[in-house]
Amino acid sequence: MKPDTHGTKDRILKSAYSLFYREGFSRVSVDAIAEHAKLTKRTIYYHFKSKDDIAAAALEDLHRHLLPQFRTWIGPETAEPAELIGNLFEALKSWAERDPWLGSGFSRIAAELADLPGHPARRAASSHKASVETWLADLLATKGVADAVQLARQIMALIEGSTSLSLIHGDTQYIQSAGMAAVSLLSHRSA
């Protein structure tokens, strides 16, 4: 009988991300990941060379699940751009109001590894954020919004800043305010 390598890898990635999100990358050991996944350390190393590779793969796996989530959050793509962006920020605010909410896992691990720009998990976080920005730019461009690439960058800055401030202050009104700012930016760009 062939071993279920996909299911085992999935358990490792979900366990690792859960621990990294809750405790931080540097405080989580491979032993802890193995224990959480109810696997041996040897099994972990059969699938991954290092904790660094596990972190990168966990973020890449999360990315595959989050892009469809963003598409759901904006609502029907037939809506006007301001409504789509408003929906996105409302969904982000609702996400931030859940308990426990510890901010963006991508941003948290990138900040924790700030002194290691070539780290595989930093590259995975950067790739995710760039993909979301490109998706936003493409969406806005298909809606006829002028300078969609620059506007998507501004919206990403509002998302990152507002989620960070919401985490720091424990106040999701920062996300709501950022959403209003994003919609205001949009009103000046409609083609």
Give a yes or no: residue 16 inside a domain.
Answer: no
Q: Say how many residues make up the chain.
A: 191
**Amino acid 4: pLDDT:** 64
Give a yes or no: residue 38 inside a domain.
Answer: no
Task: Report phi then psi at 26, rounded to 5.
Answer: -70, -25
Higher pLDDT, 99 or 35: 35
Closest CA to 160 of 87, 84, 108: 108
- pTM of structure: 0.90
Express each pLDDT in 115-134 by its tens digit: 999 999 999 999 999 999 99
Placement of tokens 């040897």 in the chain: 42
Range of the domain at 97: 52-187
d(CA 191, CA 42): 58
Give a yes or no: residue 151 inside a domain.
Answer: yes
Segment 169-187 mean pLDDT: 96
d(CA 156, CA 163): 11
Name the domain count of the chain. 1
